[in-house]
Structures are given as C-alpha cells and as structure tokens.
Structure 1
Amino acid sequence: MRALITGGAGFIGSNIALELQNKGYDTVVLDDFSSGNFKNLHGYEGDVISESILDVDLNKFKDIDAIFHEAAITDTTVKDQKLMMQINTEGFRRLLNFAVKNDIKFIYASSAATYGNAKSPQKEEYAGKPNNIYGFSKWICDCIAKKYMKKYPDSHIVGLRYFNVFGPREQYKGKMASMVWQLAKQMADGKNPRIFKWGEQKRDQVYVKNIVQINLLALDAKESYIVNAGSGNAVSFNHIIEVLNDVLGFDYKPEYFDNPYEEFYQDFTQADLTNAKKYLGYEPKWNFEDAVKDYVEWLKENRYI
C-alpha cells in the first residue's frame, strides 16, 4: 500500500509516517516545513515533497491508496481568521475532494476544539460551538466531511477528533507542545513547574502512540465516520506534575499563575470512546502513567531533557 502523509514532518504526522514505514508501507510525506522539522523524520527513508497543501499538484498522487491528512495550523492562539480557514479548511476541502474522486482512503485529523465548552465526557454529537477560530476551522472540516459521506456513500472517510496529544517528536511545537512536555522540560531545567490556578483543570491526555494506533485502525473502517481519538480519561495538571515528579525523581511543587486564555479555555475535556470502539475497534494501549514513563525514556535517550 502507498500512503501520503500531509504534515508528515510535524509531531503526529512524523509518528504516523515512521510507523507506516516500519510496517512496510510505501510512504510519501508532504510538508511545507512552516512548522514541521526535518529532525522529526530521522530514520525515515520514504519520499518527501516540500510544498503547500494549497498549491501542490495533486495529480502526482493518483497512485496513492490512502491519505493521512495531518497538515494544519495548530496554534490555537492565531487570530488571523482568514489564514486559519484557508490552510485548515480550504486545504482540507481540496484534499478530500481529490481523495473521493480518485477512490483514495481519507483519514484526517479533527480536534476536540470543536466541542468548545460542551459538557464532559464529550460525545461526537456535542460538537459545533468551538471557542476559537482553530476549533471553528476544524468544525467546518467535519461538516464538509459529513456532506461528502452522505453524497458519496461508498467513499472511505474517517475523521479523528484528537484530544490533548503528547509524546515523542512534539518538541518543535514550541508553546503549543503538550503540558507534559512543557512541565517535564521546566523540571529538568531545575525550575518549579508553572500551571494555571489551581491546577485542577482536567484534560484528556492521550499518548501519540495511541493516536498512531487509531489512525492505522481507520484504514480498515467498515464505514465512514467521525470519532473521538483520546484516552477516555481526564488528567488534572496537578496530577501531571505528580507523575513527572515520580518518573523523574523530583519533588517540585507547582507554581500557580492566572490563566490568560480564560475566556476561551476548555477546563475539562474527556473523550467518550464509545463510537471509536464501535466503528474502529479502538482500545487505547497506553494509560497515562505508563505513557509518561515511556515518553521520558525517549526524551532522555534523545537528550531533550
């Protein structure tokens, strides 16, 4: 099988590309390197095309069997609404249309940001009132996908609403990297971990290896659907620090500060995985504590902490 991974030099895209390679797939990475980093692809031996999803000639991908669409602006603090919609939504529309017209499996990254302040655990039907333009761009992608699913019932379209993903190869995301990475780095640098008051905000922290797992399961989906991609459990920021202290051998106390994003911040996210299990057979293999241990080992081996 030949697979295209858009945003393949980014955090999640590179993990998918490397795992597909390990499984013997013929892979092509498409990335304009605006936020991706070539170091994420160390060990990768497939093809790389450095172009924008808005401009690349899609006809060169007609021999592709599956597209994993990860390319997007993921910085939720970006205020340029037109730019966000052009890259995230119009880029998505272009690729989806190409995939459906050429009978290519299309698996794409949606987001828990589509839920806004919906009650937890979030079920797929709760989406539609995002708090920021990033979440809105992803919501409109989902709406477009649903129309295509209805219009082309024989198509293979799977949307995965990612929750808070952490793990190897996220370090180049800067301020948008996970709380696990941010806090681990602070502690490894001898600093008290800083979190919003009073650390009881809860997020569904899902290991990137679980996200790769659900992407591969989506290849064999029996029908098109949009499902949650999370761990199914909510973890408080205080608990993240407790686990990191245990794994790193520290005893740091959190340093609390006011949340500057309070007006559009999600205080509690937890993925309802009922549909992910029903339609894809997804059962997360990594729980939070074991995932942090595995991640810290990787960070140490690669000298990031």
Structure 2
Amino acid sequence: MRCLVTGGTGLIGSHLVRHLVEEGHDVLITGHEAEQALPFFSGKRIFPGFSGIDWNALGNIDVLFHQAALNNTRCMDREEMLRVNLEDSKRLFRHVIQQGCQRIVYASSTAVYGRNPPPYRETDPCDLNTPYAESKKGVEDVAMQLAREYPTLKIVGLRYCNVYGPGEDHKRQRATMIYQFAQQMRVGNPKLFQYGEQKRDYIYVKDVVRANMLAASAPTSTLVNCGSGKATSFNRVIEILNETLGYTRQPEYIENPYQGNYQEQTECDMTLAKQQLGFTPQYSLEEGIRDYFRSGCLISSS
C-alpha cells in the first residue's frame, strides 16, 4: 500500500517509516532535517515539512499516518498552535480523502485530559488548559465530523502518553525524563523534583508503532488511549536506569519550580484500545529501557 507519514523524521514517525519500509510498502514522508536522519529510507521526502507541504506531490494515498505537530506543550501562542495543528490537519485530511484515501491514523495526546485525575478514560470530559491540548481536541472533533460525512472512511485517533525510545534526542528539553535522566546519570547524580514520587505512564515507541499498524486496519473509526496502562515513579525510573546502565547514582532532590502547576501523575486506562484495536502494550518499562540501551541511543555524548 502507499502510505504518507507526516512527521516522518520525528520519534514516532521515524520508527513507523522503518517498519513500513521493512514490510515493503510504498512510503513518502514529510519531515525536518533537524530531526532524525533516515539512512534506510530512499523514498519520496516532501520538505520543508508538513506546514509547507507540496499538495501536488502527494498523489493517491492508501493510508495516512499523521504524526506531525507543533508539540511544544508549553507554547502559549494559541493562534500559531491552532493554525499548525488544527487548520493544517483539517486541510490534509480533506485533501487525501478527496483523492480516495479511506484510512487515516492520527496522533492525539493525553494532554486533552489536563488536570483530570488518572487513570484517564476516553469517556472523561476534557480539560483543555493549554493551546496544545485545545488544538489536539480540535483535530479529534474534525476526525469525528469526517467519520460522519464519509461512512466508508476509517479514521482512528491515538491519544499518546509519554512516548520514549531511540530517536528522541533531537527533542532536547522536550525529550522524556527517561532520556534526560540517563544523560544526567552519564556524568553524575540525577536531579529530581522533591521527592521523586511523581509518576508517568511511559509507552515504548515500538509499541506505539504496533498501535498505529493495528489502527490502520481498524474495523471502525474510533479514538483510544495509547499508553502502557501503568504509572511509574521517577524514583523507580532511576532504579531501572541504574540496573540497566550499571550505575549506582543517587537521586538529588530539588525544589519543584512548577509547584501548583505540575502534573503529578499520568496513567491511561487501556481497556478501549484492547477492545477496539486488539492493542495491548508488549514492553514493560524495564524491557523498553533495556531495548533502548541496546540501541546505543540512550546514552549519548552529544
């Protein structure tokens, strides 16, 4: 099949592109040269990126995997966030549908749950406390409208939750704390907000690729969480990293400068993803971090 992966040079997109190429699909991508290099990919690249897309270069697409986004969750420029994440997505969806595309998988985010208490369920009301969350909810609403307009269209949203793995180094301060802690531990003790009991639901990027592939063959349009279903404390992350890297680093606790405006825990209920897509994450956090380390990308001197 002919697939378009927007954000094909990003963390999730680059792994998805590799998987699709290995399966023998015809793949074209949008991306950015400042992100991941793809030495294995010789297909069509549409630069400078999604927002500058050459619509005439797309042709007919069998499956759209829409991963591209302005994903700086701290960006407060609402107008720009909605332009890039919502309006550009709306235009892309309608373009590929009009060209005959019947399957769309798009990236959403558990950011739409905002300050809701975990575990997050898809039936929970949204708490759109950032422009990023608002833009992602807007894309979900567009997808639901398109599903009503085009009964044969299958459009599936995945609400990602703390995706980690090889290929996030270009994100720098937006990389997961798993990567950031590993970098700190390479040279000394990691610094954690007091007292390291904040929790995150981390999902390994290879599981996310599998979720995308299952979504691409979903029997119906839907919207589901994409997490591990388990919250792990930062203290435990340090323990796993010590075990994996062979270190004996000790956490150094510092005052949280975001106190009162900091998410203490993320955690997804994965029941609906299993029911709708047959998706159950395969990697535990320990297994994912070990695989990450074996890739050579977890500890970097760059």
Band of TM-score, shorter chain:
over 0.9
Mean CA deviation greater in 88-97 or 99-108: 99-108
* Equivalent position of 2:14 in the other structure: 14
User: Residue 126 of structure 2 aligns with which residue?
Assistant: 128
Q: TM-score, normalised by structure 1?
A: 0.93
* Deviation readout 1:151-181 (Å, 9 max, x if unpaired): 2222110100000000010000010001110
Look up the match of 1:239: 236
State the partner residue of 2:24.
24
In structure 2, C-alpha distance between the alignment counterparts of 1:143 and 1:134, rounded to whole Å = 14
Q: What is the count of residue pairs matched by the alignment? A: 301
Q: Which letter does structure 2 place at the counterpart of 1:167?
A: G
Residues 274 and 240 of structure 1: CA distance in aligned 2, closer, same or farther (over 3 Å):
same
Name the structure 2 match of 1:186: 184
Local SS of the residue matching 2:159: strand
1:291 aligns with 2:292: no
The aligned residue for residue 153 of structure 1 is 151
Change (3 A) 1:198 1:301: closer
Shift of 1:238: 0.8
Moved more, 22-31 or 51-60: 51-60
3-state DSSP of counterpart to 1:130: coil
What is aligned with 2:78? Answer: 81
Q: Is the Cα–Cα contact under 8 Å of residues 214 and 282 in structure 1 kept in the other structure? A: yes
Structure 2 length as normaliser, TM-score? 0.94
Q: Distance in 1 between matches of 2:3 and 2:278?
A: 22
Unmatched 5+ residue regions in structure 2? none
Q: Deviations over 1:15-56 (max 9, x none)?
A: 1111111111111111244xx5242x1322222110343342
Give CA deviations for 1:183-230 in whole Å, capped at 9, x if unaligned: 011101x22111222211111100000000100111110000010011
Q: CA deviation at 1:109?
A: 0.5
How large is the RMSD of aligned CA atoms in angstroms? 1.8
Distance in 1 separating the partners of 2:36 and 2:247:
32
Does the aligned pair in 1 maintain the 2:13–2:67 contact within 8 Å? yes
Of 164, 181, 192, the residue aligned with 1:166 is 164
Give 1:222's match in structure 2, choosing from 214, 219, 234.
219
Q: Which runs of 4+ in 1 moved over 6 A?
A: none
271-280 or 41-50: which moved more?
Answer: 41-50
Match of 2:92 in 1: 95
Q: Distance in 1 between matches of 2:216 and 2:240?
A: 34
**C-alpha separation between the residues in 2 aligned to 1:28 and 1:264?**
40
Aligned to 1:282: 279
Q: Is the partner of 2:21 in helix, strand or coil?
A: helix
The alignment partner of 1:125 has SS state of coil
In 2, are the aligned partners of 1:234 and 1:268 still within 8 Å (CA)? yes
User: 1:99 & 1:261 partners in 2: Cα distance?
Assistant: 42
Report the AA paired with residue 142 of structure 2. I
Sort the Cα spacing of 1:208 and 1:237 in 2 relative to 1 into closer, same or farther, 3 A: same
| Percent of pairs with identical residues | 39
Which residue number corresponds to residue 40 of structure 2? 43
Which amino acid in structure 2 is aligned with residue 252 of structure 1?
R
- The answer for unaligned runs of 5 or more in structure 1 is none
Alignment CA distance shift 1:176-1:302 (3 Å): closer
CA distance in 2, matches of 1:259, 1:149: 43
Contact kept in structure 1, 2:229 and 2:269, CA below 8 Å: yes
Q: Give the counterpart letter for 1:171 in structure 2.
A: D
Q: Is 2:63 aligned against 1:56?
A: no
